Amino acid sequence: MTGGRAADRTARGRLLLIRLLVLVTVVSGTIYIGWRWTDSISWSAWWIAVPLILAETYSLVDTALFGTTMWRLKERGEPPVAPDGVTVDVLVTTYDEPVDLVLATATAARDIRYPHETWILDDGARDELRAAAEQIGVGYITRSESWVGKPRHAKAGNLNNALFQTQGELLLVLDADQVPVPTLLDRTVGYFSDPAVGFVQTPQFFTNVDDADLLGSQAPLFYGPIQQGKDGWNAAFFCGSNAVLRREALMQLGIVGYVRQVDATVRRTIRTADSILARAARRADRETPAVRLAVDEVRAAVRQARHDLDSGMSLGELTYAFQRRVDAVSLAVVRDNAAAIRADLAVIESLPVERDAELGTLVVDEAAFDELARRDLSPVGAIESVRAIASQIDADVAGEAQPVMPLATISVTEDMATAMRMHSLGWRSVYHHEILAFGLAPEDLPTMLQQRLRWSQGTMQVMLRENPLTKRGLSLGQRLMYFSTMWSYLSGFAALAYIAGPIVYLTFGVLPVEAFGSEFFARFLPYFLANQLLFVVVARGIATWRGQQYSLALFPVWITACWTAFANVVLHRPLGFVVTPKTTSRGRRPVPWRAVWPQAAAAVLLVVAACVGLVRLSTGHADLGPTLVTLAWVVYDLVVLSVIARAARYTGPSPTKTVEVTS
C-alpha cells in the first residue's frame, strides 16, 4: 500500500506541475498573441499578415485545448477485478485482409482466458475463411440477406449486423490485425461492475514499426497523456478496436437513434410533401381527372398526418393510418387507369384522320400514340412522387437494412461518433492505459496517407453533422474534448501560413510582423519555452517529435479532409471509403510523387526563398535581424517536411532494431 501511496503522491506532484505549466503557457501565449493583434501586424501587407496572425491564434487555441486536456490527466493504475459470469463476445472484424492474418488474430482471441465466445465478422464473405473459422472453433458471421441493395456502412454496418446475431453482455471489438493477449478481458471486464460504464478503450500498439517509426504510426502521445486527459473529463475516445463495449449502451443508442430518425424523416416529409404534391396536382390537372383526385386525396392524408403529429399521436399510429389511406388511393388509381387505357385503346381502333384546325395539316397516327403514351405514363409519374413521400412517412426505415443501428453510421469513422452519442446519453467511459493487443501499421507512405485521410475525414464529418459544442447531453469538459480533436485537424490551413510567411519575406522583402527585435522575443520566447516544457513534462520521455512533424507535414491531407468532408456533409457529394490495407508488398517502390507533391513544392520554394534571401542580405536589400529569424524559421519548416522525403522511400521496418538519430 505504501508503494501505491508514494506513486499517488508522485502522480499528484506531476499533475500540479503540468497545471502550472498549462497556466504559464496559456497566459504567456495570450500576452504574445494579444500584442501581435494590437501592435505588430503590418497592415500594408495584410494579405500575408492576416493569414499569419490567424494561424498563430489558431495555434494558441490548440495549445489551450491541449492544456485543458492535460488539466485532468488521469492515471488509473490497476483495474478492478473482473467478476465471474459476465458474458462476452469477441468480434474480429475483417473485410479483405489475408486469411492467415485474420486467423492469427482469431486464434489469439479464442485463447483469451476469461470465458467468452469468439466470432469472425467477414464482410468479404469468403468461403475459405468460413471453413478456417470452423476449423479453429470460432464463430463466423456475414451480412444477412436484409443488407442486399441497402447501404452497407462499412465497418459500422458489419458490427451492427453482428450485434443482432450474438448475445453477450459485453463486446470486445478487434480489427483483423490486432492480436490480443490472453489477459485482455481479465484486465478490462472489472470496470463494467460500475453499471454506468459504457466502454473501456485500451491502446493500439504496432509491432511492425521500428524505433525510427518513419511513418509516425505509434501514437504514444494520444494513447497516453491525451486519452488519459480525456478520461479525466469522462470523455475517453472509442477508437474502433481494442475496446470493450456494453451491449446495453450500444442498443440504447440504436433505439434512440431509430426514434430520432423516424421522427425527423416524418416531420421533414410532412413539411415538404405539400409543395411536391401541389406540383403533381398541377401536372395531373392537364392529365386525367382521376389522378388529380388521387393526388388531392393524398394531400388530404398528409394534412391529416400533420394534424395527428401536432396533436401528439404516436408516430406508429400516424404512419400506419397514412399508409392505409395511400394504399387505398393507389389501388383506386390503378383500377381507374386500367379502365382509361382500355378506353384509349378503343378510341385508337376507331381513330379517324383529323385535320388540325390551326395548321391545316393531317394529324397522323404517331401523334395519337404519343398522346396516349403521355396519358398512360403521367398518372404513374404522379403516383411515383406520391410513393416516394409515402415511403418516408413510415416507421420501418425502408432505406436501411435494419431499423436499429447501434454503431453510428454518420461518419466513415464510426467510433468517434458512437462514443460521443454514448457520452451524450450519460454513459461513462474508461481509458485503460495498458497494451493488451498488438497490431500492424501501414508499411508505406501512400497507405499511411490514405489512413490519415480517412481518420481526419471521419472526424470532420462528425463535427459537421453533430457539433459537440451544441450537442445535447454533453458536459462542458466533454464538449471541449471532442472539439479539441476536431480543431486539431484544421492545422493544415495554419501550416500554409507558416510555410508562406518566410517565403514571402525572403523573396519579396515583405515583412508580415512589424517588429522582429527584442519586443518580439520578449513576448514570444516565454510562450514558446513554456509550451515546449509542457510538452516535455507531459511526454515524460516518450517520443513525440514524429507526431509534431506530421501534424505540420501532412497539411495537404488535413486540408483535403476538411474540404471533402464539407463537400460530403453540406453539398452531399460522395466521400468514398478506403479500407486501410494491413499488409503491403515489400521491396523498392518509386517515390509516390502524386501523393506528396505539395510538400515537395513547399520544400523547393523554401530553399529557393532562402537563397534569394541570402542574396538580398548580401546586396544590402534586407536587414540582418529579420533575415536570420526567417532563415531559422525556414530551417524548422524544412526539418519538419524532411520526414516526408524519408517516409516516401520507406518500405517497411528494418529487420534489426537500429538506434536512429532523430532528425
Q: How far is CA 322 from the centre of its chain?
A: 37
3-state secondary structure 391-450: HHCCCCCCCCCCCCCCCCCCCCCHHHHHHHHHHHCCCEEEECCCCCEEECCCCCHHHHHH
User: For another protein, which is the closer residue by CB, 404 or 417?
Assistant: 404
Which residues, 6 or more positions from 517, have their beta carbon under 8 angstroms from its beta carbon? 625
- Smallest gap from Cβ 150 to another protein, in A, equals 12
Q: Which of 103, 184, 244, 315 binds another protein (CB under 8 A)?
A: 315
Q: Which of 260, 303, 586, 621 binds another protein (CB under 8 A)?
A: 260
Which residues, 6 or more positions from 88, have their beta carbon under 8 angstroms from its beta carbon? 114, 115, 116, 117, 168, 169, 170, 171, 172, 185, 189, 244
> Where do the DSSP E strands lie in 95-201?
117-122, 139-141, 170-175, 179-180, 197-201
- Smallest gap from Cβ 254 to another protein, in A, equals 6
Site pattern 397..426 for another protein (x: CB under 8 A)? xx---xxx----------------------
Examine residue 316 and tell whether it contacts another protein (CB under 8 A): yes
Examine residue 331 and tell whether it contacts another protein (CB under 8 A): no
DSSP helix/strand/coil, 588: coil
- Smallest gap from Cβ 89 to another protein, in A, equals 10
Examine residue 532 and tell whether it contacts another protein (CB under 8 A): no
Q: How far is CA 92 from CA 162, 230, 403, 442, in A?
A: 10, 26, 23, 19
Q: Which of 179, 302, 329, 395 binds another protein (CB under 8 A)?
A: 395
Examine residue 263 and tell whether it contacts another protein (CB under 8 A): yes
With residue 385 as reference, give the H or E element that holds it. helix 365-392
Q: Which of 41, 101, 104, 251 binds another protein (CB under 8 A)?
A: 251
User: For another protein, which is the closer residue by CB, 77 or 316?
Assistant: 316
In sequence order, what are the beta bridge partners of 201? Answer: 243, 431
With residue 494 as reference, give the H or E element that holds it. helix 491-508
Which residues, 6 or more positions from 275, have their beta carbon under 8 angstroms from its beta carbon? none
Alpha carbons within 13 angstroms on the beta-carbon side of residue 246 total: 23
Examine residue 566 and tell whether it contacts another protein (CB under 8 A): no
- Smallest gap from Cβ 313 to another protein, in A, equals 8
Site pattern 150..189 for another protein (x: CB under 8 A)? --------------x--xxx--------------------
DSSP helix/strand/coil, 584: coil
Examine residue 256 and tell whether it contacts another protein (CB under 8 A): yes
Examine residue 365 and tell whether it contacts another protein (CB under 8 A): no
Among positions 220-249, residues that touch another protein (CB under 8 A) are 247-248
Nearest to 413 by CA among 448, 446, 456: 456
User: For another protein, which is the closer residue by CB, 74 or 246?
Assistant: 246
Q: Which residue is associated with the grid cell 482471441?
A: 109
- Smallest gap from Cβ 259 to another protein, in A, equals 4
Q: Which of 96, 194, 327, 356 binds another protein (CB under 8 A)?
A: 327
Q: Which stretch binds another protein (CB under 8 A): 63-71, 125-133, 177-185, 260-268?
A: 260-268
Q: Per the structure block, which three cell numbers stand in for 532? A: 515546449
Binding interface with another protein (CB under 8 A): 164, 167-169, 247-248, 251-252, 254-256, 258-260, 262-263, 313-317, 320, 323, 327, 394-398, 402-404
